[in-house]
Amino acid sequence: MKNDFDLVVIGGGPGGYVCAIRAAQLGLKTACVESRGALGGTCLNVGCIPSKSLLNLSDNFHKAKKDFNQQGIEMDGVRLNIKKMMSNKNKSIQVLTKGVEFLFKKNKVTYFKGKGVLFSKNDIIVYESDNKRTNINSKNIVIATGSEPTSIPGIDIDEKNIVSSTGALSFSEVPKKLAVIGGGYIGLEMGSVWSRLGSDVTVIEYLDHITPGMDREISNEFQKILTKQGIKFKLGSKVQSVNKKGNLVSIKYTNLENSKEEILDFDKVLVSVGRKPYTEGLNLTKVGVKKDSKGRIEVNEKLQTAISNIYAIGDVIKGPMLAHKAEEEGIAVAEILAGQAGHVNYDVIPGVIYTSPEVATVGKTEEQLKKENKSYKVGKFPFMANSRAKVNNETDGFVKILADKKTDKVLGVHIIGPHCGDMIAEMALAMEFGASSEDIARTCHAHPTFSEAIKEAALAVDKRPIHF
């Protein structure tokens, strides 16, 4: 039959489309169902890709307006054309989504545009926009439907004045005053975009620190740098209400330290308090797929659900909601279905915040090692002592390496500094192969490069850095 498949993937985001392509490469007759109308999921359409476009463009604008003159590149009359900037972002998205469609054709993956609903453990109905229904049968099914933003009860996100990250990617003008509710990765990235473009940005966070789960020393340094850049922070603050007041938005919050209530007015408010798995309307309960108390699909070590031929990957299961984590899981499932030993090493999945400077991390934090009563050594090296960073005027931040006190095995690496989102791959690879800090220290790094700071931090683990 035409619509009989070895594998059907529901969801065409990074996890889903990568899983589908890899399965097809391995000889499985594969289809992918996506309801958005464009492949790439949240990440490509309204998430990590468009945000990186704006992060890059806003950084260029800020440098041209503020930094270049000090470095001998004199520029007058630098202007922001927000319409053109958004157009540039949108063109990039279109090119990339079409690129994924091309890869589907190249690898003979059948693409169904519509909402996929499970009818049984082998049957899917695809509801298309023109009320057309298509029945699909598959030996195996992968659920890769991703996540959606969460909000605070009582706050009405209209994507105009009170927005999620989706709305914050499409402002038609720079807000005079922008509030970011939530001090996590997404909120800080978007806050930094609009701050660099001229907005007065205030971050309101419930906890007494930003970036929960990050190594605290890195988190504290990150906040200092962002404060220096002009972003304000209201930490230990619980938001009570967010209400429209004419053309403004009024936020009432409580300072948890002194229980004092305060009210602040803003032009725009970005609600960025996390994301939740998106499994609505899939009919999971009917077919026997189980979820945990947080709405995540429960899977075993092979990413199987309670129904053995139905798998789940990405944001709908436990673990960090990262595109590259979803991709690794997608490849693992495809290889398992093809009879190979698909596997994901969750201990070496890097995380990156794409602000300026960037923040990158992989492995254990110092707080986690203390909680585990693990004996460890610390090596640190500041970018102000790195020659490339010095001549490029990018000296904020440092590299921090945590190594086992007895074996010297690298347990975690945390970097705040220039281009560290790319640099962290070296350390993820090193940790994947069980490298010691001595292995890193004895690896020749090209000079002058930012990555020399990694070598120096590795030397610093045993208190022998050369340049600091």
Q: Which positions are catalytic?
A: 447
**360-382 core/surface letters (b: 16 or more CB in 10 A; e: else):** bbbbbbbeebeeeeeebbebbbb
- Residue pair 144/13 in contact (Cβ under 8 Å)? The answer is yes
- Beta carbons within 10 angstroms of residue 123's beta carbon: 15
Rounded distance between C-alpha atoms, residue 367 and residue 341, angstroms? 33
User: Which tokens in the block code for residue 42?
Assistant: 């949240």
Sign of the CA dihedral running 415, 421, 423, 426: positive
| Site of tokens 């004996």 | 375
Rounded distance between C-alpha atoms, residue 145 and residue 410, angstroms? 34
- Beta carbons within 10 angstroms of residue 236's beta carbon: 16
- Beta carbons within 10 angstroms of residue 74's beta carbon: 8
Q: With H, G, I as helix, E, B as strand and everything else as coil, classify residue 122.
A: coil
| Site of tokens 């000889």 | 27
- Cα–Cα–Cα angle for 146, 148, 152, rounded to 5 degrees: 150
DSSP state for residue 66 in the 8-state scheme: I
Sign of the CA dihedral running 331, 333, 338, 342: positive
- Residue pair 323/159 in contact (Cβ under 8 Å)? The answer is no
Rounded distance between C-alpha atoms, residue 62 and residue 427, angstroms? 30
How do strand 115-118 and strand 232-234 relate by DSSP bridges?
unpaired
Start-to-end CA span in the chain (Å):
68
**176-188 core/surface letters (b: 16 or more CB in 10 A; e: else):** ebbbbbbbbbbbb
Residues 6 or more apart whose Cβ sits within 8 Å of residue 356: 55, 59, 62, 192, 196
